[in-house]
Structure 1
Amino acid sequence: MRIILWSAAIVALAVLMGVVYEQAGRYRAARDFPAPGKMVDIGGRRIQLDCRGSGSPTVVFEAGLSADGSLSWSAVQPKIAAHTRACSYSRAGLMWSDPSEAPHSARQVAHDLHAALARAGEQGPYVLVGQSLGGLFATSFTRHFGAEVAGLVLVDPSHPDQVARVADFMTETRSLRSRIAVSLAWSGLLRAAAPSLLPQARNQTARDAQAIRAFAPKSLSTQLAESDATDATLAEAGTFRDLGNRPLVVLTAMAPYTETELRGMKITPAQGTQVQAIWKQLHEDEATWSSRGRQVLLQNAGHDIQFDDPDAVIDAVLSVVAAVRADLGAAPH
């Protein structure tokens, strides 16, 4: 009985220490990493919005399925802001932004972003830049607020048909380990594991990597919820594939999958080559969604092109900005 009591006491103490560690971590995150830009109230909750530079059109960045929020674009936004207005933001529940009680959907993301831009006093026309799943969030924004969207850049974007097209090679799985880790965020375990779960990306500053890890317990919970809603997001986005004659650039990552990526997808290198060929074809299709769409293949970039080859993203964005200005007869400033 004495052994049982001592064991229970040790467990209780460990849990208490973990809770204190997590609460202290949340306090330090807010203190050490204040939100860049401003916190915009969109009706009882706030969205973090970071707008820099001046000029028209305004470039708006939409992150992919990650914990990075607005920091997904840290290697790209400053150089775009030297040429025109450039805004990045964190979706509800990511990094500094307050969570939303609404179900995750592309429509909800579009309305959150539109409300944040409007209440912050930002004005179109917009050039939307979306990476991975953020590409479909960008096209969904165009669906709901098309009059304000003048052009798009899709950075290794998701495609509505991607799951069906690769079903013969791989089955989508969602890690039980990740789900357990997120459920134990209150205990400090997820915060302790953040450095291994969220390694510093190429062309990412150490401070940005530290900030992302500091908010990991909150952001990874949102990322998991967004992942769970992916099938519904793909289905919703698939009902809109007409971008008219807006200038559009689709960037496709063509670097061979790494061993880590192949293990994560549970496929062989040969199957990886076939999956990548399908990915290229899907992007060819997305480029046809606009009569002025074009695809650019990047042989040395992986999925996170904005970090692997930021100059390619910058060049694509500025080319669309120039096309929009030509269309509108707009001066840079």
Structure 2
Amino acid sequence: MLCRTKSSVAAVLGCVVLGVGAAGCDGEELENWDPLASATRTAGPAPISGPGKITVGGRSVNVSCSGDPEEDGPVVILLLGAGDGLGKMAALQRTLSEHDRVCSYDRPGSGVSDRPQGPQDLSGVGDTLTGVIGRVAGDRPVVLAGHSLGGLIAARYAPGHRDRVKGLVLMDATLSTMVEDITKAIPASATGPAAELRAQNLAVFKGENPERLVISDGKVRSAGNIPVEVIQHGKRYLAAVPGYGPRLEKAWAAGQRGWLALSGAATLSTAAGSGHYIYLDRPDVAVQAVERVIAQAARRADGE
């Protein structure tokens, strides 16, 4: 997202409505904003622990892993929102890793990973995720826990990788039809902060972001009957957009319900008192959701 704006409302809301992190929205230049090569699963080095760099698709990717999994238990992969380096989820990772193996990583173009050499799409981002999973999880199954854009990536990835992904936690995930939703909620005739918000977010989805990620709308596909927890924000922060806030809140809520189509075992809850960053505002809600999905995934694996 192009976060430089003269409107305080757009500056605050524009960096979260589509799942783009707040980094750089305090007036930093775009190039200083940490935002929003195919890899295959092959035998290789043992799964890593601690912080470090790995090579995926010819690029250096910054990763961090901690904790040990239960016997045959899944590895948790944390996927951050656009604009956030892996340090943003460090506290959540520490808590979860007391009982499970948990890893996070900077996508190419974010944090301290290599910058992409050209435009990316969600398929390419998925290839990077596959490569990361192969290095940090070995042959173990994984649970993906994504916030914002990271939630969208997790939800788009899981249906095509049912052999590995055994559970999902989506925390205020960017909607699967975000471009359509924002253009309907805020018409082209809008002016003021709402117009700025519309233009900024549409530009980001066209690839005007440091990840160079072009994001297209798509249908929600089934990931099987895996456990899925969808968590939406409790504070109606989108309602602050002058003139169009109620429409945005309605579209966001509908999009969160839409993620339930991922699985017959999906549930939707609201994190009371939380804004967009659920895992910071209500870490207890985030931790409990991930732990429930891990437990359910483990039980299902035992029953196979």
What is the TM-score normalised by the length of structure 2? Answer: 0.71
8 Å CA contact retained: 1:254, 1:299: yes
Give 1:72's match in structure 2, choosing from 55, 68, 88.
88
The equivalent of 1:224 in structure 2 is 209
- Amino acid paired to 1:52: S
The equivalent of 1:246 in structure 2 is 226
Deviation sequence 1:121-148 (CA, Å, 0-9, x none):
6333100011111112112322442210
Deviation sequence 1:147-179 (CA, Å, 0-9, x none):
10000000101112233234343252229xx99
Residue 296 (1) aligns with residue 281 (2): no
Where structure 2 has 5 or more consecutive residues not aligned to the other structure, the ranges are 1-31, 33-49, 187-194
8 Å CA contact retained: 2:182, 2:248: yes
- Greater displacement, 301-310 / 313-322: 301-310
Q: Secondary structure at the match of 1:74?
A: helix
What's the CA shift for 1:44? 3.1
Higher CA-based Rg = 1
Deviation sequence 1:182-241 (CA, Å, 0-9, x none):
xxxxxxxxxxxxxxxxxxxxxxxxxxxxxxxxxxxxxxxx98244x64xx4233xx1452
The correspondence of residues 1-333 of structure 1 with structure 2, limited to 5 A, is 37-55=51-69, 56-66=73-83, 68-120=84-136, 122-170=138-186, 172-174=198-200, 224-226=209-211, 229=213, 232-235=214-217, 238-257=218-237, 262=240, 267-268=241-242, 271-329=244-302
Deviation sequence 1:101-135 (CA, Å, 0-9, x none):
24211111111121123234633310001111111
- Amino acid paired to 1:316: A
Q: Secondary structure at the match of 2:174?
A: coil
Assess, with a 3 A threshold, how the Cα gap between structure 1 residues 280 and 101 changes in structure 2: closer, same or farther: same
Q: Secondary structure at the match of 1:286?
A: helix
Distance 2:183 2:119 in 1: 27
Q: Secondary structure at the match of 2:81?
A: coil
Distance 1:162 1:42 in 2: 29
8 Å CA contact retained: 1:248, 1:320: yes
- Greater displacement, 57-66 / 90-99: 90-99
Count of residue pairs brought into register by the alignment: 239
Distance 2:51 2:222 in 1: 33
Detail structure 1 runs of 4+ shifted over 4 Å in the superposition: none
Deviation sequence 1:22-72 (CA, Å, 0-9, x none):
xxx9xxxxxxxxxx6110022432111111111121000111111x22123
8 Å CA contact retained: 1:154, 1:249: yes
Distance 1:297 1:81 in 2: 24
Distance 1:156 1:282 in 2: 10
The equivalent of 1:16 in structure 2 is none
Distance 1:97 1:51 in 2: 15
Assess, with a 3 A threshold, how the Cα gap between structure 1 residues 120 and 283 changes in structure 2: closer, same or farther: closer
What is the TM-score normalised by the length of structure 1? Answer: 0.65
- Computed over aligned residues only, the root mean square deviation of the Cα atoms, in angstroms, reads 2.6
8 Å CA contact retained: 1:58, 1:123: no
Distance 1:145 1:102 in 2: 25
